[in-house]
Amino acid sequence: MRLSRFFMPTIKENPSEAQIVSHRLMLRAGMIRQSSAGIYSWLPLGFRVLQKIEQIVRQEQDAIGAQEMLMPTIQPADLWRQSERYDAYGPEMLRITDRHDRDMLYGPTNEEQITEIFADAAKSYRDLPRMLYHIQWKFRDEVRPRFGVMRGREFLMKDAYSFDLDFDAARRSYNKQFVAYLKTFARLGLTAIPMKADSGPIGGDMSHEFVILAETGESEVACHRDLIAADWGNADINTEGDLQPFIDSFTDKYAATDDKRDPEAEKALGDDLVVARGIEVGHIFYFGTKYSKAFKAVVAGPDGSDVTAEMGSYGIGVSRLVGGIIEASHDDAGIIWPEAVAPFKVGLINLKTGDDACDKACEDIYRQLQDAGIEVLLDDRDARAGAKFADMDLIGLPWQVVIGPKAVAAGVVELKNRARGERQEISADAAMALLTA
């Protein structure tokens, strides 16, 4: 992509409406624009990141056998009357009336919809287990939408739902999602700590919020020091095997948010206790037959008797993660994207657009990178070098290749690593080798 043609409206000054760094940087880098409170448009740069995150989430869901589908954003109110959540949900639900005076709503979540679909189709125990998910926009009319995409009203969520024959099978599904979450967040460059969460009357110990630590987090979290350093997302683990020992190995360690915190347990931890602020990026929970009863998701068991499906649901805040990753990875100059979600891998800066030698050197590398399948953004604008450096640091691509008259004359390019700040002058070939390695 050529920056001279790319729609990336960057802003120099800090927008006054943004209170936290990720919101400021997303606006300044031209990733998003607000439409109304808590509702955003995703501009090309931001949309690329959103899609990369979505793809990683999708791959890890597919890896545990969850099947992708797509349910609508607009749902009929009757669906929610059947589970008795239509009135219970309160003012967070956006209620709509269609031209025939039918009550509709913009879905804040999809338990009702998926259970109705499943209940209608499932007949026998052979139809279980099933795990289904979609990645779809949700609407919740939050009292205080704030912090940009972190607490929006319209936001993108991955929500998965499991249907199982009995409690043990439901636990196996829960455990698979647990491990998929660890892997997903590790691939996104995040340390997400599973913390005991409220599960209502039936969840028992099967409810965890996945939290990343950040000063601007909305909840106060406390946990054992070891959980922060843990690298379990990269553990080599077969999700077809018994996952319980692996999961127990760290759910045995203390970790809790807000009202789940236990002062006694925290005192006992002494120096091993870490208290910090955190951002909830995912939530998994088991809820038994709450919805399957309401929608009669009942199948004939192996012995012919009726079995009501055991369910769990598993959410990831895909759009919140864009902000969360920036909160975890930035400096004074701007964003520092982990390579896996960067909108482009390489930013190629032409310091003197219009100079034949610089233009040619840039075009050569630009073509070579593209031929090698590497996503590259070429700054070929007719602008000052300082402005080009500032924009490139702001948008945070992992690598910068800088080409100016002096370097061209010397037969080298400058290669900069955005995260480490290291610069090296090397031949264009050596740079290519490094970037394609």
**Residues near ligand ATP (CB under 6 A):** 109, 140, 142, 151-152, 155, 157, 280-283, 315, 317, 319-320
Is the Cβ of residue 133 or residue 389 nearer to ligand ATP in the bound state? 133
Give the residue at shortest CB distance from ligand ATP. 317
- Helix 318-328 × helix 21-28 angle, to 10°: 100
Residue holding tokens 């995040």? Answer: 190
Residue 8 CA to its chain's centroid (Å)? 22
Task: Determine contact, residues 362/398, Cβ cutoff 8 Å.
Answer: no
Is the Cβ of residue 8 or residue 53 nearer to ligand ATP in the bound state? 53
Kindly provide the b/e burial profile for residues 90-111, where b requires at least 16 CB atoms within 10 angstroms of the residue's own CB: eeebbeeeeeeeeebbbbbbbb
Is the Cβ of residue 176 or residue 416 nearer to ligand ATP in the bound state? 176
Rounded to a whole number of angstroms, the minimum distance from the CB of residue 195 to ligand ATP is 11
**Count of beta carbons in the 10 Å neighbourhood of residue 213:** 19
Rounded to a whole number of angstroms, the minimum distance from the CB of residue 22 to ligand ATP is 12
Rounded to a whole number of angstroms, the minimum distance from the CB of residue 435 to ligand ATP is 33
According to DSSP, residue 260 is labeled G
Residue holding tokens 């290749």? Answer: 401
Is the Cβ of residue 64 or residue 348 nearer to ligand ATP in the bound state? 64
According to DSSP, residue 146 is labeled B
Residue at 75: amino acid letter: Q
Residue holding tokens 């913390």? Answer: 195
Is the Cβ of residue 284 or residue 294 nearer to ligand ATP in the bound state? 284
Rounded to a whole number of angstroms, the minimum distance from the CB of residue 71 to ligand ATP is 15
Is the Cβ of residue 209 or residue 391 nearer to ligand ATP in the bound state? 209
Rounded to a whole number of angstroms, the minimum distance from the CB of residue 111 to ligand ATP is 10
User: Could you tell me the CA-to-CA distances from 147 to 22, 285, 368 in Å, in that order?
Assistant: 8, 26, 40
Rounded to a whole number of angstroms, the minimum distance from the CB of residue 147 to ligand ATP is 9
Which is nearest to 127 in space by CA: 164, 86, 89, 85?
164
Residue holding tokens 């004939």? Answer: 300
Rounded to a whole number of angstroms, the minimum distance from the CB of residue 372 to ligand ATP is 35
Is the Cβ of residue 85 or residue 140 nearer to ligand ATP in the bound state? 140
Q: Which residues contact 218 (CB under 8 A, 6 or more apart)?
A: 147, 150, 151, 277, 279, 280
